[in-house]
Amino acid sequence: MPRFKIYQSILALGLLAGLSSCDKDFEEINTNPNASTNGNPDFLFSQAILKGNYVLDRTYFYTSYLGAGMYIQHYANYKDASLAGMGDKYGVNDLYQGFYFTYLYPNVLENLRQCIEGANKAGHVNKVAAARIWRVLHFQRLTDLYGDVPYKHALKGYPENEFLPAYDPQSEIYDGLLTELEQAINSFQAGAPTFGPADFIYQGDIPKWKKFGYSLMLRLAMRLTKVDENKAKTWAQKAIAGGVIENAVDIAAVKYFNSGQVYNYNPIAYEIGAQDYKADAYGDGNVEGGKYSQAFIDFLRSNNDPRLGAIAVTYNGTTPDTTAAIARGLPSGTGNKPNNFKTYSEPNPATILRNDAPLLVMTNSEMSFLLAEAALRGWTNTNTASAYFKNGIENNMRNWARFGAAGVITEPRISDYVGNHPLNTAGTFADQMNQIHSQFWVALLLDELECFANWRRTGYPVLTPTNAPGNQTNGVIPRRFPYLQTERSNNKSAYEAALARQGADNLLTRVWWDKK
């Protein structure tokens, strides 16, 4: 059955079962009298995948594009901070910066709670395991953005009547997520029922779900390097021994289609296309004034990077041009629309803005760069940092072919690039970290939340902050997102306890793992 037909069936049945949720305050959601207590685990899991992939609800546009993507200078825009409250000028906007918090609990985590509960009752251990791994991914993203968040006590409004959940310290959340990954991976059983076609990522393939789980474990482990290097090493080695995603066939990805209802469309392409890079704007009428940043385009051009033509275009009239010589990025912090705004580069409509582009959740490229760092730290003897670094670049370049013919980079060009950009093994630890994570920065384009987190942990690449009038950080790149205004009033005690541990609720307070 075509995937878009599956989507339509699941969504229709989900609506009939009362699985949809409205974006309300956290407390209201937990007392929703219309929520189904006997939802089908397969439908719930499908919904959690779609919703977890930012499906058409502004989650990606607000949080990843206007927020994280602008902060780490993949993108830039000319809108003023005091007007937009987001973008590259470090303003504050409760709707945009709080949206992920208010969205994730009812639309993803609650569906997963019900899914796990139903699968447990049916004795379907493989369904429980996959849902738990998917839940870890989303709690990881949530805590990385805000720091302390409701975790152990979250989602207990119904039926336990716990409406004001405490915020857990991020250190305890990370301990819980790592333990949950290990338990979930070890609980898979060959031959037991899986989600099958309701699993839009791996279609129930247990070995691939295990690799995804170990890959998440490595990501989480490396996040601890600044705060507890011994614990980071222990978990990283456990993940590597288990087996992470290193081959293209194991990449965690969701396929989309350019037909049927909009739920079939790639949500990244649909959101940034509809909200900024409209097809009839031709590089000039961009709604949010967005373009690729100067820092990003300059890095690609100065290194003669063949990915530039795959991901970026500059408009000549109504024609998108991929010629590297005319590519240029908008300087971050630009305060007014430049007269030559049309001449700045933006996402390629033949790759990134395709409605049928895949959404890559976890790739072999990401794992290669983390393995390169682990090898640099002496935590693995399975390969050298230099070899993993090379793999990371090659894997990312090859993965753009998944986005269509315009994304194909020939093997000779890939070979030429990696040959001219080897890891400088004679350099210092800092030099090599800079190389690894500058390339990781390029490879994480579109996965802006992970890129923002990795940049905060490593400090690479070194970015020049903006200092636009009206900014809220005195010209310092933000380190986290503020909590929702409603949490400050509706869950005041828990909110204030979190601030007492973590620090002021602003853009500059560092989360637990982001120590100087």
The answer to whether the CB of 348 falls within 8 A of the CB of 314 is no
Tokens 């546009």 belong to residue: 61
The answer to whether the CB of 425 falls within 8 A of the CB of 431 is no
Q: What is residue 13's predicted lDDT score, i.e. its pLDDT?
A: 30
pLDDT tens column, 77-132:
998 766 667 899 999 998 889 999 999 999 999 999 999 999 999 999 999 999 99
Structure-token pair, residue 163: 């409406």
State the Cα–Cα distance between residues 224 and 239, nearest whole angstrom: 14
Q: Report DSSP state, residue 165.
A: P
Q: Which fold has domain 360-458?
A: Four Helix Bundle (Hemerythrin (Met), subunit A) (1.20.120)
pLDDT tens column, 394-439:
999 999 999 999 999 999 999 999 999 999 999 999 999 999 999 9
Residue ranges of the domains in the chain? 3-227+479-502, 262-347, 360-458
State the Cα–Cα distance between residues 498 and 187, nearest whole angstrom: 33
- Summarize the chain as % helix, strand, coil (round to 5): 55, 5, 40
The answer to whether the CB of 44 falls within 8 A of the CB of 112 is yes
pLDDT under 70 in the chain at which residues?
A: 1-38, 55-56, 81-84
Q: What is residue 38's predicted lDDT score, i.e. its pLDDT?
A: 65
Q: What is residue 1's predicted lDDT score, i.e. its pLDDT?
A: 36
CA torsion through residues 423, 428, 430, 431, sign? negative
Q: What is residue 18's predicted lDDT score, i.e. its pLDDT?
A: 33
Q: What is residue 162's predicted lDDT score, i.e. its pLDDT?
A: 87
CA torsion through residues 218, 219, 224, 229, sign? positive
Q: Which CATH number fits domain 3-227+479-502: 1.10.10.10, 3.40.50.300, 1.25.40.390, 1.10.10.350?
A: 1.25.40.390
pTM for this prediction? 0.92
Q: What is residue 58's predicted lDDT score, i.e. its pLDDT?
A: 82
In 292-428, where does DSSP find H-type helix?
294-302, 307-311, 364-376, 385-399, 411-420
Which positions ≥6 away from 35 have C-beta within 8 Å? 18, 21, 110, 114, 158
Decide: residue 171, CB within 10 A, 0-12 exposed, 13-18 middle, 19+ buried: middle
State the Cα–Cα distance between residues 322 and 296, nearest whole angstrom: 15
